[in-house]
Amino acid sequence: MRIALPLLAALAALAASPSALAQVQGTAEATNLRYSLTDLTPADGLAPAVNFTNGQAVALSVQSLLMAPGTRPDEHIADVTATAPTTLSRNWTPEVHVDASLGRLGVRTALTVDTVPDAFTRGSATATLAPWYFTLAPHTGIAFSFDVAIAMALDEGANASEYGGANAFATLYYRTASGAWSAPIVDGLFGSAGTSQAGVFAPFDLTRTATVSWANTGDTWIEGHVIYDVGVSGEVQGGPAPVPEPAGWAMLAAGVGLLGAVARRQRI
């Protein structure tokens, strides 16, 4: 019977062992901002021109939230304004890890969210580069280009649902004739993955060059600014504690039957 007991323990552990925990992993970045000018009226003898007042400050916002039945929410929030280059790496809880990397011309965030059985876990990280303020010469067009990339991966776990999103985009504004800021001119990448009330979304890994542009067709210099930011978020809803699957129970029953046969044979 000394052989039977270890076998029984191994079969029980195999049948009751939980599946891998669910996880959401995401990254978002916008880098290598550059611009080009266009002369809208070459015959007027005025060269296209732009003057910049470029701030290097960056704003970071990161948070995590863990909600379990019968307990108070465990929430961590931080908002930081700093001068680039800046990096941030934090484990707000064992289940939420955030990384952010910011330079004068680039922003990147990364996030990992793990599941907690019988709890809801959420994490998010956003980073914004201070606006590039500029004044644009008359009869001049300007286009800002930048490289964007977003990715989202999911590790599906038993009795859990996962959802995440990522974005990397730029927005350009200019002064209108009334002095107010224009409607936003936006370009970039947006993506979602996982299961939500809106449907089921596949993991993604996307990259491209995005561009925002505007043309000053007037006869005076006009003020504008461009800003870009990135963000990534993830959430995992953990279900009840794992129980053996039917196949696991069948394997355990078969093992117990085998042990019984071995025990009877040893008594004979």
Q: 162: phi > 0 → left, psi -120 to 50 → alpha, else beta; which?
A: beta
Does residue 14 form part of some domain?
A: no
Q: Is the pLDDT of residue 156 over 90?
A: no
Position 196 scores a pLDDT of: 66
Nearest Cα residue to 221 out of 98, 137, 120: 137
pLDDT tens digit sequence for 184-194: 999 999 999 98
172 part of a folded domain: yes
User: For residue 26, is it within any domain?
Assistant: yes
Residue 240 pLDDT > 80: no
Residue 4 pLDDT > 60: no
Highest mean pLDDT among 51-55, 154-158, 221-225, 254-258: 221-225
Q: How many CB atoms lie within 10 A of CB 157?
A: 21
Say if 64 falls within a structural domain: yes
Q: CB-based contacts of 268: which residues, under 8 Å, 6+ apart?
A: none
How many angstroms separate the CA atoms of 54 and 105, rounded? 10
Q: Is residue 241 part of a domain?
A: yes
Q: Is the confidence at residue 257, as pLDDT, over 80?
A: no
Residue ranges making up the domain that contains 99: 20-259
Binned at pLDDT 50, 70 and 90, residue 232 comes out as: very high
Name the helix (H) or strand (E) containing 211.
strand 204-216
Buried b (16+ CB within 10 A) or exposed e, 90-106: eebbebbbbbbbbbebb
170 band by pLDDT with thresholds 50, 70 and 90: very high
Q: Is residue 44 part of a domain?
A: yes
Between CA 192 and CA 151 the distance in angstroms is 9
Structure token digits, residue 38 = 């266009």
Q: Please tell me the predicted confidence (pLDDT) of residue 261.
A: 38
Does residue 186 lie in a domain region?
Answer: yes
Output the pLDDT for position 116: 84
pLDDT score at 201: 83
How large is the average pLDDT for residues 134-159? 92
Q: What is the pLDDT of residues 62-79, one digit of tens each?
A: 889 989 888 888 898 988
Among 66-70, 111-115, 255-259, the least confident range: 255-259
Q: What is the pLDDT of residue 241?
A: 42
pLDDT of residue 97: 92
Report the number of distinct structural domains present in the chain.
Answer: 1
Name the average pLDDT for the chain. 81
Q: Which residues contact 263 (CB under 8 A, 6 or more apart)?
A: 1, 4
pLDDT of residue 70: 83
Give the model's pLDDT for residue 195.
Answer: 77
Of the pLDDT bands very low, low, confident and very high (cuts 50, 70, 90), residue 215 is: very high
pLDDT score at 69: 84
pLDDT band at 13 (very low <50, low <70, confident <90, very high): very low
The pLDDT of residue 46 is above 70? yes
